[in-house]
Chains A and B, each alone.
Chain A
């Protein structure tokens, strides 16, 4: 599970509308906490709250506090040292139970996107949250572009609720229809081709003619040369 980082432009998240197959609609409250110092024992501070009012439609309300001056400095330092920014999302379900998820992005990507990020909330088929992943939607690259610190004030987060699609099923209906059509066509009998012999087989005749013309054209000359 490893690779070299080559951080490249992040254009846009696919916003394909997922066919909703959540059977019971519900709401989810997500508490976001982040760690602005990357250590092996991260200290998480409050970042904000996301409430998904309807899992089926995926409408979400995002409430996030602006970053304090010291947090901004921390974030900039994190970016400067090419460290990771960690987000801990705690989901409170309708029944009151809590599950927490961890997600990590490169801090420099977040900074260079000027805190434009995307929260991808993945649901399983029954509408239970299985993963919350932070990603950065930005056209900037992690090339060390200097971002003024006052631009690191407010997160503008877009939330995407991603449902589990129904898996494919063997498409027997269309195939049977197709066979049926073919059978019907056969029963009706092939439509009589009224075109003339030449119209039907011109593509075979023309090359033969051309060949004949060429050979007859070259032969007399060759014979002449031989003489």
Chain B
């Protein structure tokens, strides 16, 4: 018995091995990975070779000046809690990062990126400190309003404190927005107009002398709002900005020196030998080319260069620049978060990195259109007139065309790459970034096919996550008609909805960007197509009016008005409300409330619905006694997770499965003493969710599977109104030895293939867990091992072979998106976070594909050999029979 059990385990391991492993020569064959550094916060051109950047994603990296490639990259702690506050590039790279009182000071080797030294410290005071680095001393400054500033300096290499915290009396610090550090000086202005005073004091000198100058005496007494801003790369330099015109001040122990130039507050300095150059962008309209002005600080010689750089996202800011003689290299960052390296005096763009792609918020896969040749074959069958001559003509015509194409040896189409392949593996991936740029990526290579920038828009904040809903209104299947996709966003200022419709294949906008005159409460795609195969987009405004786009979809909607249901989930009111459209008339669409679910004080943390394109292949599962347990497959089921603070159990996670049509709570369960992060995956008749168990301090996965029982209530088609029986839930929980950042179930064309759960871990791996491992065993599972149930193990294994991204770690994963290929066995996966990783997974192996190393020659030779042999033996046999007959 034990032997057989062991054998089973071996068999399991064996299964793992054959199902997931990737051979070394298959690396990069089905997958690609694009590496990014994130939204650049600080950047310094270090030498002629590289630029060191620190980003909002808490990443420090070095980019090659030659081609923009990442020379090295270090991903630090979680960017939601930790941020890089100081980047200093000298012989080594020094960073100060952290947050919430914990600070890490690190030194990095600038050529290799290896960590040289590190120390950290903890401050009781959670106030965000100011940092300066001067002469090997790291100075930590905490201002106390109206009283003093506390200055503590540390030896930057080892964190040795000089003994005490120095306090400088500064009763003139009243508002931190009016104060700055400029080199070693702490400086403030008393009021935001010309009548104010400028105070500054040297923080490192023991004299503690405070200098005071009236602003009038420095920059004159014109009216206007005055602000101060330090010069990023300058020592003791400070901008005094009035009406968007900045004046540069050099703070000195005696009196500040004021330079006579009118600058923009985004100017930077670059050192050219012993000269100091000021660089700023002057003319920067989106359509025109970027123009850069250089000013020699001492002599005042000005030069203007026109750059060969245009970006419709507008305003490119100089992050850092370095000059040698007349040649300068300028590192700029644009509004869409892309960074470029420009060269002076030629004005050429050396390279551009689309760093916006490190902040993907929405992803959708799109099928490509048929090639022209295939389309012409399809059109042959379009004409319904059964006229024999015209059909004959069509046939001959298209065959001649095919012949011509074959003879000329090329497809006549210009965009030759972007056509549908045989197995539907080649798709276009539309991604939306947080900065408002849309990209079309080729799924085969990851190359950017098109990109489009939308100005002044941002995503919606849904359950604490930035999201931009993408709706596939028409796929590329209906050949002469263009594919159409709609993206919904909101205006940055008014918060009103913005709808952008475009052709996902070419990225061309269809019509104008529609600025809707209301805020969007809920949006959904109608499941019904109009006569042009267009699915309407239903939008509910913040005052509960319903609109449908395009308006041509309205008759279709009215036809089905009594069977269209939707819901809204208010994160503030904590009420889920169901609606239908029964009372809609041709004049106006009306949403009528039909059900309510009141979550009370609980916080809604996740809502999940099954993917609309998902198909459930099998209706039930066959038990050992040959009876069938039917699945409860409700297409209208919503999975909801709420978290509530509780005096006894700290936090309670509740999971509800709610019917979206009637509002009936089909299943509910509560987990006590658990917390975030919570991820939900809802597919077929089951739900998987992960949570943190605060009691045992571990991550757990729980699964719920719903069965109708041995009889199926409505077998032909499902109706939520016919509640004949509540489903029987089966549940099971597992310990998960990892921290999930995102979870999703695989999706295939017909749903025959097994389901796997893709889990992105905090370690950078994306692992596949087969549903068979997670399936609740229930009462029938423990008894009947022969049904194919895997014995229950409380702690799920994470085998290294199940990692779909092998050794290519993906840090800070934000989400996973899947799409079915036209090949049943294959599911396409895009994992997005700081990096983009694309691959295919085959949960049931490639059962519908021949192996790559399948020997076509061998089988052909064997077949031919057999045929030849059979003919020869036939001849031989007849000869023998003849000879026998003659005997």
Q: How far, in Å, is A85 (CB) from chain B's closest CB?
A: 11
Contacts of B597 in A (CB 8 A): 101, 130-131
Q: Across the interface, name the chain A residue whose C-beta is closest to B711.
A: A11
**Chain A residues in 8 Å Cβ range of B672:** 125, 166
> Count of A-B contacts with CB under 8 A?
197
Given the known inter-chain contacts A8-B722, A10-B723, A164-B668, please indicate yes or no for A2 contacting B563, CB distance below 8 A: yes
0/1 per residue, B620-641, Cβ < 8 Å to A? 0000000000000001101000
Contacts A9-B724, A13-B725 given: A170-B795 contact, CB under 8 Å? yes
Nearest neighbor of A169 in chain B, beta-carbon distance: B733
Task: Give the contact stretch, choosing among B215-223, B659-667, B816-824, B873-881.
Answer: B659-667
The answer to whether A12 and B654 touch (CB under 8 A), given A102-B595, A135-B664, is: no
**Chain A contacts of B524 at CB under 8 A?**
1
Please tell me if B415 contacts chain A, counting CB pairs below 8 Å.
no
**A47 at interface by CB-CB < 8 Å:** no
Cβ of A172 under 8 Å from chain B: yes
Interface pair B722/A167, CB less than 8 Å apart: no
* Cα distance A136–B724 in the bound complex, in angstroms: 9
Contact of A133 among B598, B644, B662, B724 (CB under 8 A): B662
- Give the distance in Å from the alpha carbon of A16 to the alpha carbon of B593 in the complex: 30
Q: Which residues of A contact B652 (CB under 8 A)?
A: 125-126
Distance of A82 Cα from B562 Cα, bound (Å): 10
Contact A164 B721 (CB under 8 A): no
A193-218 near B? 1/0 per residue, CB < 8 Å: 00000000000000000000000000
Contact A84 B582 (CB under 8 A): yes
Q: Give the contacting residue for A172; candidates B638, B719, B794; CB below 8 A.
A: B794
- Minimum distance in angstroms from B652 CB to a CB of chain A: 6
Give every chain B residue within 8 A of A130 (Cβ-Cβ): 597-600, 656, 665
- The yes or no answer to B670 lying at the interface (CB within 8 A) is yes
Known: A1-B566, A8-B714, A39-B583. A162 touches B668 (CB 8 A): yes
B562 nearest CB across to chain A (Å): 8
Which listed residue, A13, A125, A135, touches B662 by the CB 8 Å rule? A135
Q: How would residues 31 to 52 of chain A score, 1 for a CB under 8 Å from any chain B CB and 0 otherwise?
A: 0000000111000000000000
Is B583 touching A12 in the complex (CB atoms < 8 A)?
no
Would A124 and B602 be within 8 Å (CB), given that A3-B635, A130-B665 are in contact?
A: yes
| Closest CB in chain B relative to A18 CB, distance in Å | 10
- Taking a contact as CB atoms under 8 Å apart, the answer to whether A170 and B668 are in contact is no
Interchain CB contact (< 8 A) of A5 among B590, B592, B595, B719: B719
Kindly state whether residue B793 has any CB partner on chain A within 8 Å.
Answer: yes
Within 8 A of B (CB), among A118-167: 120, 122, 124-126, 128-131, 133, 135-136, 162-167
Q: Which residues of chain A are within 8 angstroms of B669 by Cβ–Cβ distance?
A: 164-168
Cβ-based interface call for B565 (8 A): yes
Q: Is A67's beta carbon under 8 Å from chain B?
A: no
A133 pairs with B732, CB closer than 8 A: no
Known: A8-B714, A125-B654, A164-B670. A100 touches B596 (CB 8 A): yes
State whether B733 touches A170 (Cβ < 8 A).
yes
Q: Does B567 contact A (CB under 8 A)?
A: yes
Give the contacting residue for B665; candidates A83, A131, A166; CB below 8 A.
A131
Is B453's CB within 8 Å of the partner chain A? no
Cβ 8 A contact of A165, one of B592, B670, B717, B725: B670
Chain A residues within 8 Å of B670, by CB: 21, 124-125, 164-167
Determine whether B866 belongs to the interface, using a CB cutoff of 8 Å to chain A.
no
What are the interface flags for B696-715 relative to A under an 8 Å C-beta threshold, 1 for contact and 0 otherwise? 00001011000000000110
CB contact between A164 and one of B654, B724, B726 (< 8 Å): that residue: B654
Contact present for B2 and A185 (CB under 8 Å): yes
Contact yes or no, A170 B735, CB < 8 A: yes
Interface size class of B (residues with CB under 8 A): 35 or more
A109 at the interface (CB under 8 A from B): yes
Interface SS of chain B: helix, strand, loop or mixed? strand
Report if A8-B724 is in contact (Cβ < 8 Å); known contacts: A1-B565, A38-B582, A40-B590. Answer: yes
Which residues on the B side are within 8 Å of A39 (C-beta)?
583
- Chain B residues, Cβ within 8 Å of A128: 600
Query: Which of A124, A129, A185 has the most chain B CB atoms inside 10 A of its CB?
Result: A124
B829-867 residues with Cβ-Cβ distance < 8 A to A are none
Given contacts A3-B636, A101-B598, contact A168 B716 (CB under 8 A): no
Known contacts A131-B663, A166-B669, A172-B794, A2 near B721 by CB under 8 Å = no
B526, B668, B671, B720: the one within 8 Å of A3 (CB): B720
Tell me whether B527 is interfacial, beta carbon within 8 Å: yes
A100 to B577, CA, bound (A): 12
A71 CB, nearest partner CB in chain B, Å: 21
Q: For B689, give the chain A residue with the smallest CB separation.
A: A167
B residues in contact with A120, CB < 8 Å: 664-665
Contact between A104 and B595, CB atoms less than 8 A apart: yes
Residues in chain B near residue A40, CB distance under 8 A: 583, 590, 592
Q: Given A3-B636, A120-B665, A165-B669: A171 and B794 within 8 A (CB)?
A: yes
Instruction: Give min CB distance, A213 to chain B, whole Å.
Output: 30
Instruction: Contact check, A167 vs B636: say whether CB atoms are below 8 A apart.
Output: no
**Do A4 and B600 touch across chains, with their CB atoms under 8 A apart?**
no
Please tell me if the beta carbons of B2 and A182 are within 8 angstroms of each other in the complex.
Answer: yes
The distance in angstroms between the C-alpha atoms of A16 and B719, with both chains bound, is 22
A82: nearest residue on chain B (CB-CB)? B562
Do B662 and A122 have beta carbons less than 8 Å apart? no
Query: B593-618: which have CB < 8 Å to A?
Result: 593-600, 602, 609
Whether a CB of chain B sits under 8 angstroms from the CB of A99 is: yes
**Interface pair B665/A175, CB less than 8 Å apart:** no
Q: Are B563 and A103 in contact (CB under 8 A)?
A: no
User: In the assembled complex, which residues on chain B have CB atoms less than 8 Å from the CB atom of A94?
Assistant: none
> Is the beta-carbon distance between A6 and B717 smaller than 8 angstroms?
yes
Report yes or no: A122 in contact with B668, Cβ–Cβ below 8 A: yes
Residue A61 interfacial (CB < 8 Å): no
Which residues of the other chain, A, contact B635 by a CB distance below 8 angstroms?
3
Residues of chain A contacted by B595 (CB below 8 angstroms): 101-104, 131, 133
Residues A168 and B733 in contact in the complex (CB < 8 Å), given A3-B720, A10-B723, A102-B596: yes
CA–CA, A120 and B665, complex, Å: 9
Asked whether, in the complex, the Cβ of B794 is within 8 Å of the Cβ of A170, the reply is: yes
Q: Find out whether the CB atom of A103 lies under 8 angstroms from the CB atom of B663.
A: yes
Name the interface residues of B705-759: CB closer than 8 Å to any CB of A. Answer: 713-714, 716-726, 728, 731-735
A109, A126, A186: the one contacting B721 at CB < 8 Å is: A109
Report chain B residues within 8 Å CB of A103: 594-596, 662-663
Chain A residues with Cβ below 8 Å from B592 are 40
A166 CB contacts on chain B under 8 angstroms: 669-672
Query: From residue 440 to 457 of chain B, which have CB atoms closer than 8 A to chain A?
Result: none
Whole-angstrom distance between the alpha carbons of A8 and B723 in the complex?
9
Question: What residues of chain B lie closer than 8 Å to A169, measured between beta carbons?
Answer: 700, 733
* Other-chain contact of B564, A2, A83, A86, A125 (Cβ < 8 Å): A2
With A170-B700, A170-B795 known as contacts, the answer to whether A1 contacts B733 (CB < 8 A) is no
Q: Are A1 and B563 in contact (CB under 8 A)?
A: no
Q: Across the interface, do A13 and B719 meet the contact criterion of CB distance under 8 Å?
A: no
Task: Decide yes or no whether A14 CB sits under 8 A from chain B.
Answer: yes
- Closest chain B residue to A118, Cβ basis: B723
Q: Which 4 A-B pairs have the closest CB atoms?
A: A125-B670, A1-B660, A14-B726, A168-B733
12 sampled A-B residue pairs with Cβ under 8 A: A2-B636, A3-B635, A5-B719, A6-B722, A8-B719, A11-B713, A84-B582, A103-B662, A109-B721, A130-B599, A131-B663, A186-B2
Known: A99-B600, A167-B671. 18 other contacts (CB 8 A): A1-B524, A1-B567, A3-B661, A10-B723, A14-B728, A21-B670, A38-B582, A83-B582, A84-B594, A101-B596, A102-B663, A103-B595, A103-B596, A105-B662, A130-B600, A166-B669, A168-B702, A171-B794
Residues of A within 8 A of B (CB): 1-14, 16, 21, 38-40, 82-84, 86, 99-106, 109, 120, 122, 124-126, 128-131, 133, 135-136, 162-172, 175, 182, 185-186, 190
B residues neighboring A (CB under 8 Å): 2, 524, 526-527, 560, 562-567, 578, 580, 582-583, 590, 592-600, 602, 609, 635-636, 638, 644, 646, 652-656, 658, 660-665, 668-672, 700, 702-703, 713-714, 716-726, 728, 731-735, 776, 792-795
